[in-house]
Every structure is written in structure tokens, then in C-alpha cells.
Amino acid sequence: MAVPSGFKALDAQLPGGGWPRRALTELLLPQPGIGEVRLLCVSLVATQKAGRLVMLFDPPSALSAHALAQLGFDVEQLLIVNTRTRVIPGTDSLWALEQALKSGHVGAVLAWLPPRLQPERLRRLQLAAHNHDGPAFVLRETSAAQRPTSAPLRLALRPGGADVLAVRVLKRRGPPLDAPLQLELPPVLSSMALQRARIGPSAGLPAAANASSLALHAATFINLAAAR
């Protein structure tokens, strides 16, 4: 059974009526922080409420505990994994992600992948996802659309206005979607909450896009690859 996205228009276009289980969902975006976490928050929060672990791998910048809590996350139960700070010789930064998918014990995974990823590595992640009974999202650069993917579902994301995300279905079971969907995202932090969080715009991003790219202090960063 697919996992509802929280967006009826999107679920109507996704095979099975939602995010797939036991498979990768590949999201392509021009830059981090355009609303990708807000797009996925309904399914990720539902996973947490079902008592299952949500893991975030290698976010490109710090995340805001205030913003995540406003979206419904139990921040204290989020596991943020930074695999790129240190890699043991003979391993690589994707080892921890692959092991998490293979374990079968994680509820949902969201991973920002390194650029120009080799197709073989994505293939290995897709094979590992067969053991993962939940949604598994991998975020990649927009230019990856020019290369084939082993992920059965590929979407391209781009900002569509204030709190709006344009979503184009590039690959799915069946034909691609010609016109992008315009999805209204949950609103970002209020101005008062932003002031309390003492945050400023991330480099190159408008303030309205920062709900998924601000300072998270409530999570512990660990290096699973180093603990192998």
C-alpha cells in the first residue's frame, strides 16, 4: 500500500495513490531548501506517529527545530545522520544509507545525495530499498534528469511562488506528466517564530524558502560509517 502524500492532486498522479514503499522516490531540485521537506512532511510525520523511525541523511545545511516542530515533527525522535564529515578508507558516504535501507527497521528515509552520483550506486540503493517497508526519498540535482535512473519514480521540483511548489512527474509506472502540478505547501515559520529562532536567510535562498534549511539544535549528528 502506498503512503499518502497529503496532496490529493499529487496522489492522483502517483501509481498506487501515494509514495511507494520498497522503492526509491527520486526528487530533483535546483537547490536545497525550496520546500522539499514541506512536500514530504505529511508522510514523514505520519510515519513518526505510527511509532516508526524517520532518518534524514546529509542535509546540506542545518535544519530548524522550530520549523520542523511547526510542521508536526517530533524533533526529539528524528535521527539526523551526517556521513560526510569523515569516511573510513574503503568505505564511502552512502554506506550508512544503504545499510539503513537494508535493515528493514526504519520507517522512512530522506537523503540528500552527493552530486554526479554514479548509476551503479543508485542501483545499489534501489536494490537495498526492496527491504525497506516505507517511503525512501533521495534528493538530487536537477541536471540528473539528463541521465537514466533505476528509481521507479522520479519527480522534478522547482519553486512556483510563495509557499507553492511546481512538481513535474518525469518517470512513473505509465506515461510522464506533461504539465507540472502546482502544490500549495504548509506555510513557513511565522515572523515571530523566525525572530525567536534568530535565523537569517540561507545563502542564495529567499527567506520564505528556508523552513527546511535553518539551524536545528535538537538533533544529534552521528557518523554511522565511522561506527562500522
CATH number at residue 188: 3.40.50.300
For residue 56, tell me if it sits in a domain.
Answer: yes
pLDDT of residue 86: 57
The total domain count for the chain is 1
pTM of the entire structure?
Answer: 0.82
For residue 1, tell me if it sits in a domain.
Answer: no
For residue 172, tell me if it sits in a domain.
Answer: yes
Strand 164-171 vs strand 153-161: parallel, antiparallel, or unpaired? antiparallel
- CA dihedral defined by 123, 129, 134, 136, rounded to 10 degrees? -30
For residue 218, tell me if it sits in a domain.
Answer: yes
The pLDDT tens digits for 96-142 are 999 999 998 899 999 999 999 999 999 999 999 999 999 999 999 99
Domain that holds residue 170: 8-227
For residue 3, tell me if it sits in a domain.
Answer: no
For residue 128, tell me if it sits in a domain.
Answer: yes
With left for phi above 0 and alpha for psi between -120 and 50, is residue 161 left, alpha or beta? left
